[in-house]
């Protein structure tokens, strides 16, 4: 199981990617760029919609096929990107302020998430 997580202005959501779904995605992935571009932004925005619902309504947003596809794209992109952008393993998208202005993509292995008291 692969995973993309998203930290958005104090809210966190996990987007698990089942192995069979990812394998089917990876087999069909062609012409995926090796540097960030508009497709990566579209995938991020798809996941951000779920976090926006959490932030606005205090309840989890729906995670369906579109979100799973977006998470698979992000995971695939960073695990196959050019060396200067590459991330090995699971990815966390970080938007500290939740405003979409300053986005970072970080290896999940480098992040120690500690719940607030």
The domain segmentation of the chain, as residue ranges, is 2-110
Q: How do residues 8-53 score in pLDDT, each as one tens digit?
A: 988 889 999 999 999 999 999 887 777 788 899 999 999 998 888 7
What is the pLDDT confidence band of residue 116, given thresholds at 50, 70 and 90? low
What is the pLDDT confidence band of residue 61, given thresholds at 50, 70 and 90? low
Do 13 and 60 contact (CB within 8 A), yes or no?
yes
What is the pLDDT confidence band of residue 58, given thresholds at 50, 70 and 90? low
Residue 84 DSSP code = T
Task: Report the C-alpha gap between 57 and 102 in whole angstroms.
Answer: 23
Do 46 and 67 contact (CB within 8 A), yes or no?
yes
Q: How do residues 70-98 score in pLDDT, each as one tens digit?
A: 999 999 999 988 888 899 999 999 999 88
What is the structure's pLDDT at 6?
A: 94
Which of 4, 106, 19 minimizes the C-alpha distance to 51?
A: 4
What is the structure's pLDDT at 117?
A: 54
What is the structure's pLDDT at 115?
A: 60
Joined together, the tokens standing for residue 71 give 């998470």
């Amino acid at each position: 199981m692969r995973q993309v997580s998203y930290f958005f202005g104090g809210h966190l959501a996990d987007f698990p990617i089942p192995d069979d779904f990812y394998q089917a995605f990876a087999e069909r992935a062609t012409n995926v760029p090796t540097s960030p571009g508009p497709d990566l932004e579209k995938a991020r925005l798809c996941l951000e919609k779920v976090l926006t619902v959490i932030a606005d309504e205090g309840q989890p947003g729906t995670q369906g096929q579109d979100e799973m596809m977006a998470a698979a794209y992000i995971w695939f992109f960073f695990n196959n990107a050019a060396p200067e952008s590459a991330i090995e393993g699971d990815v966390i998208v970080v938007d500290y302020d939740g405003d979409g202005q300053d986005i970072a993509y970080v290896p999940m292995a480098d992040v120690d998430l500690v719940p607030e008291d």
